[in-house]
Amino acid sequence: MSSVAVVGLGAMGSRIGLRLLGAGHDVVVWNRSTPKLEPLLARGAKAASSPREAARRSHVLITVLADQQALRSVSAGPDGIGAGAHPDLVVAEMSTVGTAAVDALASLLEPTTRVVDAPVLGSTAEAEAGTLTILAGGAVEVIDRIRPLLAPLGTVVHAGPRGAGAAAKLVANAALLGTVTVLGETLLLADTLGLPREAAATVLAATALAEQARRRLPVIEAGAYPRRFGLSLARKDADLIAASSAQSGVLLPSLSAMREWLVTAEQQGRGDSDYTAMLATILESRTSEGTPARH
């Protein structure tokens, strides 16, 4: 089995590490917070003292980090991944950080070190079950080389050359977050017009929002938003989408509005809730005149 390192043991990274251990791989782990190492060490993983050592000791290194800044902090400098990279190493970047961060990572590594951007669709439940969809960007031969290693995590989809995986993840999240925003605003319209929620549910069941309405209406009624995909992380992804569109000179007004709702929800203290808590922010936004608050 391959020697693989996992750098970043948050909710997703720790589960990815456990899946790889369960598949029989030799797993090296590093995390800034050492207590998060313990569950994996108990299952047979080996601890690295730095990202540099993790890179030096592995053939494939997986990064699963919160944002671009975290990725750079573990990649650059004398203790970073770049300092430990070697010609046989493949770095699989599985965070959602956008294409610019993937290019920046590659620039810190030796030209002989290959980089695959491989963000995932799915959350912790899918990571535990090994049913993630892995959106891989990179050379075909490099992706084929690491495909057997990634197989215990889910299905690998080759999105295109390096950067295509990161781009595909932003497209997927734009669709997801945009749909939830439209659902929230549509329900707000129904409330404003005095349409009972039960009638609104019946109407939405006959529209393109049917599946989202079916899944989200019980959560809205319960007023609880169990975390699967944190709202602050969703806002970060919305920032990446906005930055990408600005760089390309493309106007995306509906996605800009989606980001504004996420920013408002985070400012209201919902950053640690599930991203769908933005629905509460939208539905609470009626002014005394019965119209949405402007932000």
Kindly report, residue by residue over 6-25, the tens digit of the pLDDT. 999 999 999 999 999 999 99
Average the pLDDT over 276-289 and give the result: 85
Comparing CA positions, the residue from 57, 65, 68, 77 lying closest to residue 32 is 65
Q: What rounded mean pLDDT belongs to the chain?
A: 95
H helix or E strand, kind and range, residue 203: helix 197-204
Q: What is the dihedral of CA 144, 148, 149, 153, to 10 degrees?
A: 110
Kindly report, residue by residue over 158-193, the tens digit of the pLDDT. 999 999 999 999 999 999 999 999 999 999 999 999
Q: How confident is the model at residue 289 (pLDDT cuts 50, 70, 90)?
A: very low
pLDDT of residue 286: 79
| Cα–Cα dist 259/95, whole Å | 20
Between 34 and 1, residue with greater pLDDT: 34
DSSP labels, 110-162: -TTSEEEE--EES-HHHHHHT-EEEEEES-HHHHHHHHHHHGGGEEEEEEEST
CA atoms within 13 A on the CB side of 32: 12
Which residue shows structure tokens 């080389």?
145
**What is the CATH architecture of 3-161?**
3-Layer(aba) Sandwich (3.40)
| Cα–Cα dist 279/262, whole Å | 9
Kindly report, residue by residue over 185-224, the tens digit of the pLDDT. 999 999 999 999 999 999 999 999 999 999 999 999 999 9
Assess whether pLDDT exceeds 50 at residue 292.
no
Kindly report, residue by residue over 25-82, the tens digit of the pLDDT. 999 999 999 999 999 999 999 999 999 999 999 999 999 999 999 999 999 999 999 9
Among 3.30.2450.30, 2.60.40.10, 1.10.1040.10, 3.40.50.720, name the CATH number for the domain at 168-283: 1.10.1040.10
Average the pLDDT over 99-112 and give the result: 94
pLDDT of residue 248: 93
SS (H, E, C) 223-289: CCCCCCCEHHHHHHHHHHHHHHHHHHCCCCHHHHHHHHHHHHHHHHHHCCCEHHHHHHHHHCCECCC
Domain boundaries, given as residue ranges, for the chain: 3-161, 168-283
pLDDT of residue 287: 57
Proportion of the chain above pLDDT 70, given as a percent: 96
Q: Give the three-class secondary structure for 61.
A: strand
Proportion of the chain above pLDDT 90, given as a percent: 95
DSSP state of 29: E
- Region at 48 (left for phi over 0; alpha for psi -120 to 50; beta for the rest): beta
- Cβ proximity of 168 and 135 under 8 Å: yes
Give how far Cα 13 sits from Cα of 7, 168, 220, Å: 8, 20, 30
